[in-house]
Amino acid sequence: MDQKINQSQIKLEELFREVASLGNISESQKQELFTKLEGAIVLNIVGKLFDQLQETGKKIIEQKKFKTNEDLFKFLSSAVSQDNFHKVATLAVEEVVKKFLEKI
Amino acid sequence: MSKFEQLGNSERSKGPENSAESREQFGVRALQAAQEIYSDEVKTLKHKIYRYEALRDIGYTVALPGSLYIIGKFFGVDIGKMTGLNISESTEAVVRLSWLISVLGANSAYFAKMYFEKKLNYFKKKFGVLSKPESQETK
């Protein structure tokens, strides 16, 4: 396991738990809070990946029938580079986390 | 002005109006904030995909718990391989989220850590909590 990833995961988990604990909310509410943030990040990522699609990619979507999220994600990964995915994901995390912390 | 300074200013402007807020009220507000952000993202994505009939059946279900791990896998970010863990929708949300941000890259983890640390210090001061509440309770 990558030691750096493990360390940043532990630190983030600790910070998230501390912020949630300050609010004295129940365990189920904490789960809901972080599930919503997680959902917001993935929605943001998917939206940004759509923005990156070239015209050919957009035409393919119009003709395809996606039955599952996996079908859609597979298509997006074939149309957008891995490098761009990382840039998009970083931006999405930053945007969602910042919006959340600005609201509270 | 940097993004970080802007965040600091927004905290200061919230200070007086929220000075009498209890921790319970803060908790409810945090939950509402997460829900609002989620709803905003749903609206934004719906707007972006409304022209694609092929996506109408999927829509915002892309936000189901665990979806981030699935999408990451298709882009070569396989959390299972990287961590040896089997993370799914049943894994605790706070663990899922922190793993997710960590494996997406150093920048993602840096931003999340800095933003949360700064805000946490602000709230600790506001609520008079100087150390971790959970560890205090267990002592």
Q: Judge whether residue B114 has pLDDT over 90.
A: yes
Kindly indicate the confidence band of residue B131, based on its pLDDT and cuts at 50, 70 and 90: low
Yes or no, beta carbons of B68 and A103 under 8 Å apart: no
The answer to whether B99 and B79 are in contact (CB under 8 A) is yes
**Nearest residue, CB atoms, A5 vs list B82, B129, B134:** B82
Chain A interface disruption, residue of B108, B113, B121, B125, most A CBs within 10 A: B108
B52 and B72 assigned to the same domain: no
Query: Domain count of chain B?
Result: 2
Question: Domain for residue B136, yes or no?
Answer: no
Overall average pLDDT of the B51-65 stretch: 74
The answer to whether B115 and A97 are in contact (CB under 8 A) is yes
Overall average pLDDT of the A8-31 stretch: 90
Query: Domain count of chain A?
Result: 1
ipTM of the complex: 0.91
Question: Domain for residue B111, yes or no?
Answer: yes
Question: Domain for residue B51, yes or no?
Answer: yes
Q: What percent of chain B has pLDDT over 90?
A: 20
**pTM summary value:** 0.83
Predicted local confidence at residue B15, as pLDDT = 43
Chain A residues close to B26, C-beta within 8 Å: 22-23, 104
Q: Judge whether residue B60 has pLDDT over 70.
A: no
Domain containing B43: what range?
A: 24-63
If one counts every other C-beta atom within 10 angstroms of the C-beta of residue B105, the result is 19
Residue closest to A91 by CA, chosen among A47, A53, A54 = A47
B122 and B98 assigned to the same domain: yes
Predicted local confidence at residue B8, as pLDDT = 47
B41 and B97 assigned to the same domain: no
Q: Judge whether residue A91 has pLDDT over 60.
A: yes
Q: In angstroms, what is the C-alpha Rg of chain B?
A: 19
Which residue bears the tokens 């949360």?
A: B116
Yes or no, beta carbons of B58 and A51 under 8 Å apart: no
Question: Domain for residue A4, yes or no?
Answer: no
Question: Domain for residue A13, yes or no?
Answer: no
CA distance B96 to A51: 26
Question: What digits encode the pLDDT tens for the residues A45-65?
Answer: 999 998 988 888 888 888 887
Domain containing A95: what range?
A: 26-103
> What residues 26-85 of chain B have any CB closer than 8 A to a CB of chain A?
26-31, 33-38, 40-42, 44-45, 48-49, 51-55, 57-58, 60-65, 67-68, 70-72, 74-77, 82-84
Question: What digits encode the pLDDT tens for the residues B36-47?
Answer: 999 999 999 888
Question: What digits encode the pLDDT tens for the residues B75-101?
Answer: 887 777 776 666 677 788 898 889 888
Q: Which of A58-62, A75-79, B81-85, B110-114 has the lowest mean pLDDT?
A: B81-85
